Amino acid sequence: MSEPGASRAERTYFLWAALLLAATVGLGAWLRAIFVWPALKGPFVFGYLVHAHSHVGFFGWATPALFGLVIRAARLRPDRRQRFTRHAHALGVASLAALVAFALGGYDAASIAISAVHVALWWAFALPAIRALGPAPAVERRCFRASLVFLLVAGTATLLPGILLARGVDDPWLKELGVKLFLTPFVAGFVGLGVMGAVYARIGGRRAMPALVLTCLGVLPSAFLFVAAPPPTPALLGVGRAGSLLLGAGGVLFAADVLGAAAPGAILRLVGAAAALKGGLEVVASLGLADALMHDRSIVLAYLHLTVLGVVTPALALAAFRRRDGAPGWVALHALGLAGMCGALVGLGWPLAGRLLAALGLGVTTLFPIAAAGGAASAVAVLALLRAGEPRSGGARRRERCIALVRRGEPPAEARRRRPWPAAEPTGQRLARPPRPAADPTPPRDRFTRAAASRADSRGPTTPSEAP
């Protein structure tokens, strides 16, 4: 599922992330279906299910997927990785607990306590990981470190609503700001910059530094624009607009790098197009052109899902689970489903779009089923993207297993019985069977480990068709 040679900690994070992505998109598709067939809600409270869906998406999918990528970039010593394997299990179990607690009780004492456990787990990860990223390549190091700093900011901001409550503050603007000061650093900072790190690790990119700096500068001020309640002074709206402009400009630069990368595959093309649209919308909002719309729930949900399903999820799926970009059929289905869901939401929230769609025969009653069908199609396609198109032949799997073992310093059992397996070479080169050494004085175990480790270091696709 993940790259050959992935450490156990990395794989554990990815395994939990995949499981909880399935729970997130399954719940999302169910929620969309409830709009069409309310009886499907069963004994549950709709609002609680929405909380369960959003929390498991952020805590259980995006967070462990990014943590696994950070561990990969940090290249930790094996003895230090073990601690992170335990952390990955703790994070996974806490995410499952959040799913159940939010679904059954919404924001009650149990779910607040579990959220506090999550914040503690973020600190437990981020502090050692920020240090461990030292040897990582420069772009990954900068993006992932900035991403983790914003995670700590978001985690600390979760204290704000409690502090305001304890001090008896009842100002609606301050109360909403307390929530946005968690959400914006988490989504635009931690997740957004983490996605940049994951994608730039794959494609390089000339504009990585400006994109990173603009995004970092824009995250916190943009939180002021997302508050619907009127601010105490109009200057704060100006701060919010400036933040949104910086965020949008950073996103557009990132999108330009992704779309301009050498031969981007279908997944990267989707990520680039969605990032360009998202960045463009943030620039439009910064100019004050969307004031009437930007707090409408349908529009907010369309923007949010454009971000999490158009940019974040495909980028993380590619970085964490796939060696090759591809699967154009599944990407097309996902893009179509997402366009259907977001388009229907825009039609429901923006009167002009609603009238245009109605003129095309798509009235309000048709938009809900379209959103539901789009959501279900996206959910299926996203899960397929985790695996579709990966090499499945016995030889390829055996070779991946061997390389993984060698990276851990253990010679694979089957290699003692066989000659060294065909080497994986960088993309585009043919694989060559190494000449058998005539008389090497090194003991067989060391000889094997040395040759295999040097081959395992040449990272690149290993497809069955490349085998000699």
Residue closer to ligand HEM by CB (options 46, 123) is 46
Q: Which of the stretches 170-178, 306-314, 356-364, 383-391 binds ligand HEM when contact is defined by CB under 6 A?
A: 306-314
Residue 58 binds ligand HEM, judged by CB under 6 A: yes
Pick from 28, 41, 33, 161: nearest CA to 99? 28
Q: Which of the stretches 27-35, 69-77, 79-87, 432-440 binds ligand HEM when contact is defined by CB under 6 A?
A: 27-35
Q: Which residue number has the CB closest to ligand HEM?
A: 28
Residue 2 binds ligand HEM, judged by CB under 6 A: no
SS3 call for 93: helix
> Taking the complex as a whole, how short is the minimal distance between the CB of residue 35 and ligand HEM, in angstroms?
7
Which residue type is seen at 248? G
Residues 359-378 that bind ligand HEM (CB under 6 A): 375, 378
Residue 185 binds ligand HEM, judged by CB under 6 A: no
Using only C-alpha atoms, what is the Rg of the chain?
24
Q: How many alpha carbons lie under 13 Å from residue 379 in its C-beta half-sphere?
A: 22
Following DSSP, what letter does each residue of 10-30 receive, concatenated?
Answer: HHHHHHHHHHHHHHHHHHHHH
- 24, 95, 244, 286: which one binds ligand HEM (CB under 6 A): 24
Sign of CA pseudo-dihedral 174, 176, 181, 182 = positive
Q: Show the tokens assigned to 41.
A: 């809600």
Measured CA distances, 218 to 75, 197, 289, 377 (Å): 30, 17, 18, 33
Residue 184 binds ligand HEM, judged by CB under 6 A: no
Whole-number Å distance between alpha carbons of 325 and 261? 12
Residue 192 binds ligand HEM, judged by CB under 6 A: no
> Taking the complex as a whole, how short is the minimal distance between the CB of residue 371 and ligand HEM, in angstroms?
8
Residue 309 binds ligand HEM, judged by CB under 6 A: yes
Residue 313 binds ligand HEM, judged by CB under 6 A: yes
Given a contact cutoff of 8 angstroms between Cβ atoms, the answer to whether 425 and 376 are in contact is: no
> Taking the complex as a whole, how short is the minimal distance between the CB of residue 397 and ligand HEM, in angstroms?
29
Residue closer to ligand HEM by CB (options 54, 82) is 54
> Taking the complex as a whole, how short is the minimal distance between the CB of residue 410 and ligand HEM, in angstroms?
36
Residue 57 binds ligand HEM, judged by CB under 6 A: yes
Site size for ligand HEM, by CB under 6 A? 23
Q: How far does Cα 415 stand from its chain's mean position?
A: 36
Whole-number Å distance between alpha carbons of 417 and 195? 42
Residue closer to ligand HEM by CB (options 20, 285) is 20
Residue 148 binds ligand HEM, judged by CB under 6 A: no
- 94, 188, 258, 301: which one binds ligand HEM (CB under 6 A): 301
Residue 278 binds ligand HEM, judged by CB under 6 A: no
> Taking the complex as a whole, how short is the minimal distance between the CB of residue 169 and ligand HEM, in angstroms?
22
Given a contact cutoff of 8 angstroms between Cβ atoms, the answer to whether 271 and 258 are in contact is: yes
- 6, 23, 29, 270: which one binds ligand HEM (CB under 6 A): 29
Whole-number Å distance between alpha carbons of 220 and 180? 9
Q: How far does Cα 133 stand from its chain's mean position?
A: 19
Residue 25 binds ligand HEM, judged by CB under 6 A: yes
Q: Which of the stretches 57-65, 117-125, 223-231, 441-449 binds ligand HEM when contact is defined by CB under 6 A?
A: 57-65
Using CB atoms within 10 Å of the CB of residue 416, give its burial: 0 to 12 exposed, 13 to 18 middle, 19+ buried. exposed
- 6, 31, 216, 403: which one binds ligand HEM (CB under 6 A): 31
> Taking the complex as a whole, how short is the minimal distance between the CB of residue 79 and ligand HEM, in angstroms?
33
Q: Which of the 8 DSSP states describes residue 224?
A: T
Given a contact cutoff of 8 angstroms between Cβ atoms, the answer to whether 334 and 311 are in contact is: no
Give the count of beta carbons closer than 10 Å to the beta carbon of residue 464. Answer: 13
> Taking the complex as a whole, how short is the minimal distance between the CB of residue 387 and ligand HEM, in angstroms?
17
Residues 36-55 that bind ligand HEM (CB under 6 A): 50-51, 53-54
Residue 343 binds ligand HEM, judged by CB under 6 A: no
Residue 180 binds ligand HEM, judged by CB under 6 A: no
Residue 307 binds ligand HEM, judged by CB under 6 A: no
Residue closer to ligand HEM by CB (options 94, 379) is 379
Residue 308 binds ligand HEM, judged by CB under 6 A: yes
Measured CA distances, 428 to 72, 424, 425, 459, 466 (Å): 24, 11, 8, 12, 9
Please name the residues in contact with 138: beta carbons below 8 A apart, sequence gap of 6 or more. Answer: none
Whole-number Å distance between alpha carbons of 50 and 57? 11
Whole-number Å distance between alpha carbons of 72 and 80? 13
Residue closer to ligand HEM by CB (options 29, 277) is 29
Residue 61 binds ligand HEM, judged by CB under 6 A: yes
Whole-number Å distance between alpha carbons of 1 and 322? 7
Whole-number Å distance between alpha carbons of 20 and 27? 10
Binding residues (CB under 6 A) for ligand HEM: these are 24-25, 28-29, 31-32, 50-51, 53-54, 57-58, 61-62, 301, 304-305, 308-309, 313, 375, 378-379
